[in-house]
Amino acid sequence: MRIVLVGPPGAGKGTQAVRLSEELRIPHISTGDLFRANISQQTELGKLAKSYMDAGNLVPDEVTIAMAEDRMGQPDAENGFLLDGFPRNVSQAEALDELLENENVTLDAVLDLEVPEDEVVKRIAGRRTCRNKSEHVFHVTYSPPKKEGVCDVCGGELYQRDDDSEGTVRKRLEVYHTQTEPIIDYYKAQGLVVTISALGPVDEITQRALGALKRDEDGN
């Protein structure tokens, strides 16, 4: 299967992407991993991306698209893949369609993980990270430390990272609504969107997603 995974920050895309790729036996292609791999291996695309990042600029779509195209062309992705973080906007979605069309293949589904905005804020703003190098992560509601403000593992101080603050989370949500959410309507017009609730235990969400993808594949 060829799947695009979408959803707001805090929806659990990374966790579900790993689980679904294992269950479906297709590679998980993450934008973050693509950037890290290209930069660490000092590929031409990696050097180009780093030049923009070092200057404090956004990496242009064409660089991201080229990285994705290169990864999707590798042997392990011949029979399918799960894209996580790409496409991030309608322009990238259009470019992806063109890439797939050139290879005479199509997307099978766009899996939309649906989470209420207040729950997203609660999930991310509740994180507490250990200041020590281990950076163990806890959550004030879902996985609280035994002693408030203290890491269970090493005894380090727990703190809220700046990018986990409520204000930052809401700004990230605004960016998602403006830039990424429109791709859901784009793919709905193609009949590809499968929406599931991303609330509940992780295992339950995985099974919900697998069931929805199977029903979609069967045409039911």
Under 8 Å between Cβ of 2 and 81: yes
Q: Which of 19, 71, 122, 127 is catalytic?
A: 127
- Max Cα distance, the chain (Å): 57
Q: Which of 50, 170, 172, 208 is catalytic?
A: 172
The contacts found for 161-166 with CB under 8 angstroms, 24 or more apart, are 161/127, 161/129, 164/124, 164/125, 164/127, 164/129, 165/125, 166/121, 166/125
Backbone angles phi, psi at 167, to 5 degrees: -60, -45
First to last CA, the chain: 17
Catalytic, 88? Answer: yes
Nearest to 176 by CA among 89, 92, 71, 95: 89
Backbone angles phi, psi at 9, to 5 degrees: -60, 140
The DSSP bridge partners found for residue 147 are: 150
Q: Which of 161, 171, 188, 214 is catalytic?
A: 161
Catalytic, 2? Answer: no
Q: Which of 50, 88, 170, 208 is catalytic?
A: 88
Helix runs in 26-165, H state only: 31-40, 44-54, 61-72, 90-102, 117-125
In degrees, rounded to 5, the angle at the alpha carbon of residue 149 between the alpha carbons of residues 147 and 151 is 70
How many angstroms separate the CA atoms of 17 and 24, rounded? Answer: 10
Catalytic, 13? Answer: yes
Q: Which of 13, 19, 123, 128 is catalytic?
A: 13
- As annotated, the active-site residues are 13, 88, 127, 161, 172
